Chain A
Amino acid sequence: MSPVHYVALSAILFVIGGVGVLVRRNAIVVFMCIELMLNACNLAFVAFANMHGNLDGQVIAFFVMVVAAAEVVVGLAILMAIYRARRSASVDDANLLKW
């Protein structure tokens, strides 16, 4: 299989994730879309690493996973707190931090 397929798949996943972030209101779903985008990136990294025959991209993929895990921990904690306060997980409702 040529790397083009992997990159194409990665692009498709990234666009799905991006559109999900922009159009969905539920914070949980937004999170999952962000995870989707991150993993699309990981796929691209690994594909290119394989193509170039070195390990740089794979190492970066590990870093991305670590960051993603940390982000989910913090993000879900905030989400829990918001949900408890407002009985809603909609990102449009949490709009107090503005002008």
Chain B
Amino acid sequence: MTTLTTIAATGVLRESWLLLAFPLFGAVVLLVGGRRTDRWGHLLGVAMPIASFVYGLIAFFTLLGDTDRSQDTHLFSYIPVAGLQVNEGLLIDQLSISFVLLITGVGSLIHIYSIGYMQHDTDRRRFFGYMNLFIAAMLLLVLSDNYLGLYVGWEGVGLASYLLIGFWQFKPSAAVAAKKAFVVNRVGDFGLTVAIFLMFAEFGTVQFPGVFGSVKAGGSGVATALGLLLLLGACGKSAQVPLQSWLLDAMEGPTPVSALIHAATMVTAGVYLLVRSNPILADSPTAQLGITVVGAVTLLFGAIIGCAKDDIKKALAGSTMSQIGYMTLGAGLGPAGYVFAIAHLLAHGFFKAGLFLGAGSVMHGMDDEVNMRKYGGLARIMPVTFATFLFGYLAIIGIPPFSGFFTKDGIIEAAWDKGGTSGAILAGCALLGAGLTAFYMTRVMLMTWFGKRRWVEKAHPHESPGVMTWPMILLAVGSVFGGGFLIIGHRFENFLGPVTGLPPTSHGIWSVAGIIALVLALGGVGLAWSMYGRVAVPAEAPRGRFPVVAGRKDLYGDAFNESVLMRPGQWLTRLSVYFDNRGVDGLVNSLAALIGGTSGRLRRMQTGFVRSYALSMFFGAALLITLLLVVRL
């Protein structure tokens, strides 16, 4: 059990607002400046995240030298009124600085890559404006020292994601995908919103230290409610079952967007939220169980979808969903899993961004063809892209000594250590997922890089320019060494431990679970080779049996949403309209008709004959006097 205590920031960390200011400035200049900034806009757009990254590095090394590593900078108060005191500030601690380095580091590389990838796009400047906006919002999300500020960033990245998925809005499919992502995310945002309301109602504050300090006294009921609501929020943003359906469609956006937002950073915001809220989860085993179940289901769900897709980006998107499932599983395991969840998140940020950039490089050289059945034999034509993709591949399937081996096995072992039936089931799911990961990634490798050429003659595949390959090379270096650097010698555990709590049991590099995972991964590789390497891949997709068909249809996620949520929703709407027209309106209208009709008849009493008025006055007066006499007597 850890609680968060912060000190006022000192030295260079006092200027942490600069982190946000750089990309925000870039976004404002590029989006407000309009066409005037077209010529140099992309250079400004690249410079801003790099500036933030440099500051992030300085802050990181400053933090390493300090003993108090949770340093808070107060910025301003939101409308301070008697009972409503919400201070906005930026919190730099071990967790947030890890994210800052990931977001700005990988973000800078992807910005550089985008210069080449978006070169022929007339709207490149607008693209960089949105990307800078995203970086600013994401940094606000991870740096805020309270849930309200986090929520502002949360919505900001949602907006940037919406704008970037629909960047090519002239394509109806992109516009629809953007809308879908936004709507599905609203469901998750609803959970986060209610969680913040609940915190404010129960604890009277939304600052992290205040909430974490009083959650113990609030009782486990409040902690469970908060934990489950935060899980709903995390499910929306991180594309976890049941709110997973938007991520595959989000691949309609430009590939650098898929790499940055829908693989490396934004979709991991849910994991950040859960790990940041670890004192809340510590008081609620129910919420933790819910998180592990969601994680385990999603890691299999995504992996199965990844196995069936022929679209290279969608196969990678299924993989992203699955890997975030691992992180969510880790985040549900308590202090045993937090460190590995974040370590896997960072390693995944590198290798998945690298894989997406590799896919983008292939698409760039192949006239935006995404169907892997139209690839094949590209390894000799795009050697640099192939090499970086290969390292990313080895990292994700967990071959030692590449990144994924260290970080993913940490999560599997933590699940195993949970013990009991649930621990065995969770670890079993995670191991099965490791095998599936190896299968679908090998499938992607073989279909794209090996075998016979299946592309059409006019495709002219070619290697990408240096501005695109260098970021991929740097990301590949990260994929090779990142995981080992973090895990060997418990480096990351000791760094992050004060925020999340240390794992109760310490593991060596080799363990039983790790070896089983490795064997299963090699089995997956072998199975994939026997299906896609030994025999030629047909250029047209075969019809396939049940699991393949289901996987191609995203395991019926959309069909489920349509039949369970959309159709009943439409019926409910129609019923409400009917009830409104016939019931409510009927009542009101008939009342109005009654009054109107009655007064229409009463009006006839106004005859215009003065003497008849006089007569009625006489009768009235007589009646009044009679009544008075009767009552008096």
How far does the Cβ of A86 sit from chain B's closest Cβ, in whole Å? 14
Inter-subunit contact A91/B611 (CB<8 Å): yes
Q: Does B545 contact A (CB under 8 A)?
A: no
Inter-subunit contact B611/A95 (CB<8 Å): no
Bitwise interface map of B from 603 to 615 toward A, beta carbon under 8 Å scored 1, else 0: 1101111110011
Of B604, B610, B614, B618, the residue contacting A99 (CB under 8 A) is B604
Task: Decide yes or no: A92 and B604 within 8 Å by CB, A18-B618, A22-B614, A22-B615 being known contacts.
Answer: no
Inter-subunit contact B608/A98 (CB<8 Å): yes
Inter-subunit contact B609/A95 (CB<8 Å): yes
Q: Which residues of A contact B609 (CB under 8 A)?
A: 92, 95
Q: Which residues of B contact A94 (CB under 8 A)?
A: 610
Closest to B603 in A: A99
B residues 516-530 in Cβ contact with A at 8 Å: none
Task: Decide yes or no: A22 and B603 within 8 Å by CB, A92-B611, A95-B608, A97-B608 being known contacts.
Answer: no
Q: Which residues of B contact A96 (CB under 8 A)?
A: 608
A residues 44-99 in Cβ contact with B at 8 Å: 91-92, 94-99
Q: Does A21 contact B (CB under 8 A)?
A: yes
Closest to A24 in B: B611
Inter-subunit contact B610/A98 (CB<8 Å): no
Inter-subunit contact B604/A22 (CB<8 Å): no
B residues 582-633 in Cβ contact with A at 8 Å: 603-604, 606-611, 614-615, 618
Closest to A25 in B: B611
Residues of A in contact, count (CB < 8 Å) = 13
* A interface: dominant SS: loop
Of B607, B611, B615, B618, the residue contacting A98 (CB under 8 A) is B607
Inter-subunit contact B611/A99 (CB<8 Å): no
Q: Which residues of A contact B611 (CB under 8 A)?
A: 21-23, 25, 91-92
How far does the Cβ of A10 sit from chain B's closest Cβ, in whole Å? 15
| Cα distance A85–B618 in the bound complex, in angstroms | 30
Q: Which residues of B contact A97 (CB under 8 A)?
A: 608
| Cα distance A92–B608 in the bound complex, in angstroms | 8
| Cα distance A18–B611 in the bound complex, in angstroms | 11
Inter-subunit contact A91/B610 (CB<8 Å): yes
How far does the Cβ of A78 sit from chain B's closest Cβ, in whole Å? 12
Inter-subunit contact B606/A22 (CB<8 Å): no
How far does the Cβ of A26 sit from chain B's closest Cβ, in whole Å? 12
Bitwise interface map of B from 25 to 62 toward A, beta carbon under 8 Å scored 1, else 0: 00000000000000000000000000000000000000
Of A21, A23, A25, A99, the residue contacting B606 (CB under 8 A) is A99
* Most chain B CB neighbours (cut-off 10 Å) among A25, A92, A96, A99: A99
Closest to A91 in B: B610
| Cα distance A51–B186 in the bound complex, in angstroms | 89
Bitwise interface map of B from 152 to 180 toward A, beta carbon under 8 Å scored 1, else 0: 00000000000000000000000000000
How far does the Cβ of A12 sit from chain B's closest Cβ, in whole Å? 16
How far does the Cβ of B277 sit from chain A's closest Cβ, in whole Å? 72
Q: Which residues of B contact A21 (CB under 8 A)?
A: 611, 614
| Cα distance A25–B614 in the bound complex, in angstroms | 12
Closest to B607 in A: A98
| Cα distance A97–B618 in the bound complex, in angstroms | 21
* Most chain B CB neighbours (cut-off 10 Å) among A25, A96, A98: A98
Inter-subunit contact B618/A22 (CB<8 Å): yes
Inter-subunit contact A95/B607 (CB<8 Å): yes
Q: Which residues of A contact B610 (CB under 8 A)?
A: 91-92, 94-95
Inter-subunit contact B606/A98 (CB<8 Å): yes
Closest to A95 in B: B608
How far does the Cβ of B26 sit from chain A's closest Cβ, in whole Å? 74
How far does the Cβ of B273 sit from chain A's closest Cβ, in whole Å? 71
How far does the Cβ of A37 sit from chain B's closest Cβ, in whole Å? 11
A residues 24-40 in Cβ contact with B at 8 Å: 25
Q: Which residues of B contact A99 (CB under 8 A)?
A: 603-604, 606-608
Q: Which residues of A contact B608 (CB under 8 A)?
A: 95-99
Bitwise interface map of B from 53 to 93 toward A, beta carbon under 8 Å scored 1, else 0: 00000000000000000000000000000000000000000
Closest to A19 in B: B618
| Cα distance A23–B606 in the bound complex, in angstroms | 19
| Cα distance A91–B609 in the bound complex, in angstroms | 8
Q: Which residues of A contact B604 (CB under 8 A)?
A: 99
Closest to A97 in B: B608
| Cα distance A96–B608 in the bound complex, in angstroms | 6
Closest to A23 in B: B611
Q: Which residues of B contact A18 (CB under 8 A)?
A: 618
Q: Which residues of B contact A92 (CB under 8 A)?
A: 609-611
| Cα distance A21–B607 in the bound complex, in angstroms | 17
How far does the Cβ of A84 sit from chain B's closest Cβ, in whole Å? 19
Q: Which 8 A-B pairs have the closest CB atoms?
A: A98-B608, A95-B608, A99-B603, A91-B610, A99-B606, A98-B606, A21-B614, A98-B607
Given contacts A91-B611, A92-B610, A95-B608, 7 further A-B contacts (CB under 8 A): A18-B618, A21-B614, A23-B611, A25-B611, A92-B609, A98-B606, A99-B607
**What are 21 A-B residue pairs whose CB atoms fall within 8 Å in the complex?**
A18-B618, A21-B611, A21-B614, A22-B611, A22-B614, A22-B615, A22-B618, A23-B611, A25-B611, A91-B610, A91-B611, A92-B609, A94-B610, A95-B609, A96-B608, A97-B608, A98-B606, A99-B603, A99-B604, A99-B606, A99-B608
